[in-house]
Amino acid sequence: MLGVVFTEFMEMVETEFSFDTADEILELSGIGGDRGFTAVQDYDHNDMVRLVAALHKVTGLEIDTLIMTFGSHLFSRFRVTHAQFFDGATGSLEFLENIEEYIHVEVKKLYPNAELPTFRCIRHAPDRLEMNYSSTRPFGDLAHGLIRGCGDHFGESLNIIRNDQDGPMKVQFLITREAAV
């Protein structure tokens, strides 16, 4: 998993919780006292799972809630760090529909080592999108949070029905755009 995901995660922990919490979870997860993740380096995705488990231990908040919150946060960061992908974007469903064939394709060019999930999308209606997430890694909650963050970004209220099909590695999202908020 790319370091950029780790650097953004640690930054979220520092701002939403505290520097001490950030140090504590590094210690608890056995990753060590040095917070020096490098954005373009690769790390074991299990290290992310360990960091989230440690944050759960320290804060008492549920793991799925923590990962989803991180997903929303990550989306708002992508808005800043990868602003070029937002040019011409008209709405949340249109943006989400583009992840597989445009955004993650460009991400792969920027970071050839990136390990990305697959999204099979079906547009049932202008305001209804089915997204089928599939990955070798268990980040369905992260996808869920990113989808929420996307709705927030476009000021659209999304109703997200989620069906886990193979734990958090294969998840169907049925997304309905309800109204502008």
* Chain residues that interact with ligand HEM, rule: CB under 6 A: 1-2, 4-5, 78, 82, 85, 96, 99, 103-104, 107, 111, 114-117, 135, 137, 139, 142-143, 146-147, 150
The distance of closest approach from Cβ of residue 146 to ligand HEM in the complex, given in angstroms and rounded to an integer, is 4
Burial of 52 (0-12, 13-18, 19+ CB in 10 A): buried
Q: How far apart are CA 89 and CA 93, in angstroms?
A: 10
Burial of 181 (0-12, 13-18, 19+ CB in 10 A): exposed
Q: Which is nearer to ligand HEM, 29 or 135 (CB)?
A: 135
The distance of closest approach from Cβ of residue 13 to ligand HEM in the complex, given in angstroms and rounded to an integer, is 18
Contact criterion met (CB below 8 Å) for 71 and 52: no
Tokens of 71: 């997903």
The distance of closest approach from Cβ of residue 40 to ligand HEM in the complex, given in angstroms and rounded to an integer, is 10
Q: Which is nearer to ligand HEM, 20 or 44 (CB)?
A: 44
The distance of closest approach from Cβ of residue 151 to ligand HEM in the complex, given in angstroms and rounded to an integer, is 10
Q: How far apart are CA 64 and CA 56, in angstroms?
A: 10
Other beta carbons within 10 angstroms of residue 135's beta carbon come to: 20
Sequence-ordered strand ranges (E) for 31-155: 118-125, 128-134
The distance of closest approach from Cβ of residue 101 to ligand HEM in the complex, given in angstroms and rounded to an integer, is 13
Q: Which is nearer to ligand HEM, 60 or 167 (CB)?
A: 167
Contact criterion met (CB below 8 Å) for 148 and 73: no
